Chain A
Amino acid sequence: MARTLAMFTDVSLCIGCRACQVACKQWNQLAPEEPEWTGTYQNHHHFTDKSYRLVRFFEQSDGQGALTWHMMSDVCKHCAQAGCLEACPTGAIYRTEYGTVNINQDICNGCRYCVSACPFGVVAYNEDTGTATKCTFCNDRIHNGLGPACAKACPTQSIRFGFRDELAAQARKRVDDLKRMGVKEAQLYGEDQSGPVGGLNAFFLLLDKPSLYGLPENPKLPQGNVLVDSLLSIGAALMVGLGAVVAFRDRGGKGSA
């Protein structure tokens, strides 16, 4: 495996211009969509089959009349342990040599299991192609020595692309700097490879707790349930089987009423 690549989205530098969203749409030739009124500059509410990057906007009140305006460019996290990849029954979803997660459109048969298995609600079903789609980490670009289109377009270097270990070091330094500057709640999300789902290959610097940004505090790999659920099912099978034996065993002709 080649050295793992990553994207680092630093929310503290985001100005909400949505150039990343536009660049993503253009490079990946994603069709236009009907706009959605979300009450903010955000469009759409969620990732769609035609929007792989999504800048989220929201306001946070301190309860005394002061508002903080938050913006964050969200994207597929390319989880080290990916729920969509583990769920996929066809092998369409695979891990590239760079550690990113991609959906092979020629293999996907549109069962939509991955859509419900993503802990971040990223994967979307495309009605037109009958397949599941999501951010490809610009698979074509990274295999030709270019970074993802969103990172290329970002005017403030809020989205950075590079080797995971180098980006993680930059991210840790940036958090320290921000904390020194008095941004007490600054924190990294998904940088820790010993953390939930083995860390994220698209990780974030947030200015407040993850739930504020709509991110799960402690994302879980859904397939972590499979072993326990299966063992409980086997236990249930034994009980049902025993019950059937009790019901059908001969009791000296007493059973024939």
Chain B
Amino acid sequence: MEPGLLKSADWPFLIDLYFFLGGIAGGAFVIATVATLLDAQRYRDLTRVGYYLALLAILPGPILLTVDLGIPSRFLHMLMVSKPTTAIGMHAINIGPFHLKPFSPMSAGAWALMVFSACAFLAALLTFLEDRGNPRLGTTRLVIGIVGGVFGFFIAAYPGVLLGATARPLFISAHWLGALFLAVGAATGGAAIALVLSLVGGQTSDSLSRLMKVTAIALVLELVFLALFVVSVSATGSRGIREALAQLLVGSDAIFFWVGAVVVGLVIPLLLQVGGVIRKATPGMTALVSALVIVGGFLVKYVIIVAGQRVLS
């Protein structure tokens, strides 16, 4: 009786899409920043693609989120509204009409999305200006890159923490979703850069091979966090939670989870990478592996959100 009483937010596909694109944006931005920190000259192409991709992937975010609201014209209420009271939650920070609620991942996420979007825009702009032969903007871009990198991690991870802070049976005792979503973001972000680079062509396979390596590391972490998520949720006894997990692992969502997220998105790309793609990253194989990682990254988030929101009778 217990699980059926709980309600679902019934977030539509728009939200799944935003969580996926946000992960790509955050992951691509972080990877571009790390690469440029280590060798700005050698990874020039990689960094450019990374920053441009981050901007492109985050651009639809605010639109998708606003369209989903019951009253889209009130989108600014996420950040500011004049309130009759400031008793709006624990450790809420109220400055004038602005508010930040650190224990509401959606509130913190709205602010982070704003900061990250600004960083993604500036990083792409500075990259563009540098390519046009403007005076060296490297230092400014580095600062933007580091600040944006921190918020990029945040944008990739917070949707998982946000789900974990709901009463949904699949999420209420889960602790690894933020870490999992962050790893998925890094894997899909790296794969997206690699996909673009391998399609554009003219690359030494050095950059591709290094991208395959960072993607493989993220995939291993993703696999570990996914296993920890499943094991930790199944270890908590409640019947409702066990039913919700069964829905994901053996119920109607299981095919997406096992075939899509685990086999296509994790096992096959990892086997290909370890089996030779990292050592010799040809554009064709890199594109194939990257596409699999991106599809799998979408599916693992999608299937978890869908299974978690499904109301069990």
Interface positions of A (Cβ within 8 A of B): 45-47, 81, 83, 85-96, 104, 107-113, 115-126, 129-132, 211-212, 214-216, 220, 222-223, 225-226, 228-230, 232-233, 235-237, 239-241, 243-250, 255-257
Bound-state CA distance A121–B2 (Å) is 10
B261 within 8 A of A: no
Known: A120-B5, A241-B34, A247-B214. A232 touches B77 (CB 8 A): no
Q: List 12 A-B contacts (CB under 8 A).
A: A46-B5, A107-B81, A120-B6, A121-B5, A121-B7, A222-B164, A226-B161, A229-B161, A244-B30, A244-B214, A247-B217, A255-B209
Q: Judging by beta carbons under 8 Å apart, are B110 and A223 in contact?
A: no
B192 within 8 A of A: no
With a cutoff of 8 Å between Cβ atoms, the chain A residues found around residue B85 in the complex are: 94-96
Taking the closest CB of chain B, its distance from the CB of A55, in whole angstroms, is 15
Q: Judging by beta carbons under 8 Å apart, are B30 and A243 in contact?
A: no
List the one stretch of B35-43, B52-60, B129-137, B289-297 in contact with chain A: B35-43
With a cutoff of 8 Å between Cβ atoms, the chain A residues found around residue B121 in the complex are: none
CB closest chain-A residue, reference B99: A91
Question: Contacts A89-B106, A232-B176 given; 14 further ones with Cβ under 8 A?
Answer: A96-B87, A109-B70, A113-B9, A222-B164, A222-B166, A222-B167, A225-B174, A225-B175, A236-B178, A240-B182, A241-B30, A241-B153, A247-B210, A257-B280
Q: Judging by beta carbons under 8 Å apart, are B1 and A46 in contact?
A: no
B11 within 8 A of A: yes
Q: Judging by beta carbons under 8 Å apart, are A240 and B105 in contact?
A: no
Known: A89-B78, A91-B83. A115 touches B9 (CB 8 A): yes
With a cutoff of 8 Å between Cβ atoms, the chain A residues found around residue B107 in the complex are: 89
Q: Judging by beta carbons under 8 Å apart, are A110 and B177 in contact?
A: no
Q: Judging by beta carbons under 8 Å apart, are B165 and A211 in contact?
A: no
With a cutoff of 8 Å between Cβ atoms, the chain A residues found around residue B186 in the complex are: 240, 243-244
CB closest chain-A residue, reference B178: A233
With a cutoff of 8 Å between Cβ atoms, the chain A residues found around residue B279 in the complex are: 257
Which residues of chain B (205-261) have a CB below 8 Å from chain A?
Answer: 205-206, 209-211, 213-214, 217-218, 221, 225
Q: Mark B151-181, 1 if CB is under 8 A from A, else 0.
A: 0010001101110111110011011111110
Q: Judging by beta carbons under 8 Å apart, are B70 and A112 in contact?
A: yes
With a cutoff of 8 Å between Cβ atoms, the chain A residues found around residue B140 in the complex are: none
Cross-chain contact of A88 among B4, B8, B89, B309 (Cβ < 8 A): B89
Q: Judging by beta carbons under 8 Å apart, are A123 and B83 in contact?
A: no
With a cutoff of 8 Å between Cβ atoms, the chain A residues found around residue B218 in the complex are: 240, 243
Q: Judging by beta carbons under 8 Å apart, are B71 and A110 in contact?
A: yes
Bound-state CA distance A45–B44 (Å) is 60
Which residues of chain B (81-110) have a CB below 8 Å from chain A?
Answer: 81, 83-85, 87-90, 92, 99, 101-107, 110
With a cutoff of 8 Å between Cβ atoms, the chain A residues found around residue B68 in the complex are: 111
With a cutoff of 8 Å between Cβ atoms, the chain A residues found around residue B43 in the complex are: 248
CB closest chain-B residue, reference A124: B7
User: 6 smallest A-B Cβ distances: which pairs?
Assistant: A110-B70, A130-B70, A243-B217, A233-B178, A109-B74, A236-B179
Known: A109-B75, A246-B217. A257 touches B175 (CB 8 A): no
Interface positions of B (Cβ within 8 A of A): 1-2, 4-11, 30-31, 34-35, 38-39, 42-43, 68-72, 74-75, 77-78, 81, 83-85, 87-90, 92, 99, 101-107, 110, 153, 157-158, 160-162, 164-168, 171-172, 174-180, 182-183, 186, 204-206, 209-211, 213-214, 217-218, 221, 225, 279-281, 309
Taking the closest CB of chain A, its distance from the CB of B243, in whole angstroms, is 14
CB closest chain-A residue, reference B42: A250
Taking the closest CB of chain B, its distance from the CB of A241, in whole angstroms, is 7
Q: Judging by beta carbons under 8 Å apart, are A257 and B205 in contact?
A: yes
Known: A113-B9, A223-B165, A244-B34. A233 touches B75 (CB 8 A): no
Q: Judging by beta carbons under 8 Å apart, are A93 and B88 in contact?
A: yes
Known: A89-B104, A107-B81, A236-B221. A116 touches B70 (CB 8 A): no
Q: Judging by beta carbons under 8 Å apart, are A243 and B179 in contact?
A: no
CB closest chain-B residue, reference A102: B85
Interface centre among A47, A230, A235, A245 (most CB of B within 10 A): A230
Bound-state CA distance A125–B8 (Å) is 10
Q: Judging by beta carbons under 8 Å apart, are B90 and A243 in contact?
A: no
Q: Judging by beta carbons under 8 Å apart, are B83 and A116 in contact?
A: no
CB closest chain-B residue, reference A45: B4
Bound-state CA distance A83–B178 (Å) is 19
Bound-state CA distance A85–B101 (Å) is 10
With a cutoff of 8 Å between Cβ atoms, the chain B residues found around residue A216 in the complex are: 2
Known: A232-B176, A240-B186. A111 touches B161 (CB 8 A): no
Cross-chain contact of A256 among B88, B204, B214 (Cβ < 8 A): B204
With a cutoff of 8 Å between Cβ atoms, the chain A residues found around residue B211 in the complex are: 247
CB closest chain-B residue, reference A85: B89
